[in-house]
């Protein structure tokens, strides 16, 4: 059995009400819920929240809210692993046991049912503890630069100044969309970033990790582009 857990606390500071803020005509959390349901991967799709308002919206779009998240793991210091571990244990107390769990962020409107199905297939095939989507950086990170207080430029790795781009190893970043994991790995608090994790490579520019108002505007524009293409 598999379970999807969507963390969605009510106290977002940078974008107030972020998890249920309207995005292209419906609350942004609805996209994560619908992708999970449409994937056919899950026996249960639940939302972990401390907010009655978020709970109402989540239920409207088909998710379950079998418990309310305690305040001590609903603040800025609560980690994703803490929230997922709590949710799994809450379901165990209801005598429900699962093999795989997928944490899907509430602000991930680019997540698709196909990606979730591919992720489940690949975590099984690769015998990984975790699997999550990644994208290649648009520019070589080996040529990254920093700016001091006077905006003077310096290279992080000056030895790569004259190395051709095609000779530099590609680097990838976590897209911040979803995390498949073996339930036992979540319960053991195993780190997601480890040699037991695997990546699902997505096309460049196909997702936006939404943390700021600028990210939100960019995500809306990108979403509209893909809708109209």
CA-CA distance, 33 to 102, in Å (whole number)?
12
- Contact status, residue 122 vs residue 198, Cβ threshold 8 Å: yes
Report residue 76's pLDDT band, with 50, 70 and 90 as the boundaries: confident
CA-CA distance, 190 to 120, in Å (whole number)?
18
Closest residue by Cα to residue 226 from 31, 30, 45, 60? 31
pLDDT at position 102 is: 98
- Token pair 């990838």 in the structure block, residue: 172
Beta-carbon neighbour count of residue 158 at 10 Å?
A: 10
Mind listing the pLDDT tens digit for each residue in 90-128? Answer: 999 999 999 999 999 999 999 999 999 999 999 999 999
Superfamily of domain 2-133+176-228: Spore Coat Polysaccharide Biosynthesis Protein SpsA; Chain A (3.90.550.10)
CA-CA distance, 212 to 98, in Å (whole number)?
34
Tokens of 216: 């939100």
Report residue 3's pLDDT band, with 50, 70 and 90 as the boundaries: very high
Q: What value does the mean pLDDT take over residues 39-51?
A: 97
For residue 229, pLDDT beyond 80: no
Report residue 228's pLDDT band, with 50, 70 and 90 as the boundaries: confident
Domain positions in the chain: 2-133+176-228
In three state form, how does the secondary structure of 162-226 look?
Answer: CCCHHHCCCCEEECCCEEEEEHHHHHCCCCCCCCCEEEEECCCCCCCCCCCHHHHHHHHHHHHHH
Mind listing the pLDDT tens digit for each residue in 174-201? Answer: 999 999 999 999 999 999 999 999 999 9
When the pLDDT of each residue in the chain is averaged and rounded to a whole number, the result is 95
What's the pTM value of the predicted model, to 2 decimals?
A: 0.94
Which letter, b or e, does each residue of 168-205 get, where b requires 16 or more Cβ atoms within 10 Å of its Cβ?
eeeeeeebbbbbbbbbebbbeebebeeebbbbbebeee
């Amino acid at each position: 059995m598999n379970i999807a857990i969507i963390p969605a606390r009510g106290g977002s500071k940078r974008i107030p009400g972020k998890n249920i803020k309207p995005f292209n005509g419906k609350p942004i959390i609805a996209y994560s819920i619908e992708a999970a349901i449409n994937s056919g991967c899950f026996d249960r799709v639940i939302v972990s929240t401390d907010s009655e308002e978020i709970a109402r919206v989540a239920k409207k779009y088909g998710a379950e809210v079998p418990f309310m998240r305690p305040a001590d793991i609903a603040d800025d210091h609560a980690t994703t692993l803490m929230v997922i571990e709590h949710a799994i244990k809450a379901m165990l107390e209801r005598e429900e046991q699962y093999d795989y769990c997928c944490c899907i962020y509430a602000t991930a409107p680019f997540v698709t049912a196909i990606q979730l199905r591919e992720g489940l297939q690949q975590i099984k095939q690769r015998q990984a503890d975790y699997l999550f989507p990644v994208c290649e950086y648009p520019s070589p990170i080996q040529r990254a630069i920093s700016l001091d207080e006077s905006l003077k430029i310096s290279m992080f790795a000056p030895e790569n100044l004259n190395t051709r781009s095609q000779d530099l190893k590609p680097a990838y970043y976590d897209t911040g969309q979803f995390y498949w994991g073996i339930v036992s790995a979540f319960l053991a608090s195993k780190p997601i970033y480890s040699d037991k994790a695997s990546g699902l490579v997505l096309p460049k520019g196909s997702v936006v990790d939404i943390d700021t108002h600028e990210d939100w505007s960019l995500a809306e524009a990108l979403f509209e582009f893909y809708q109209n293409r």
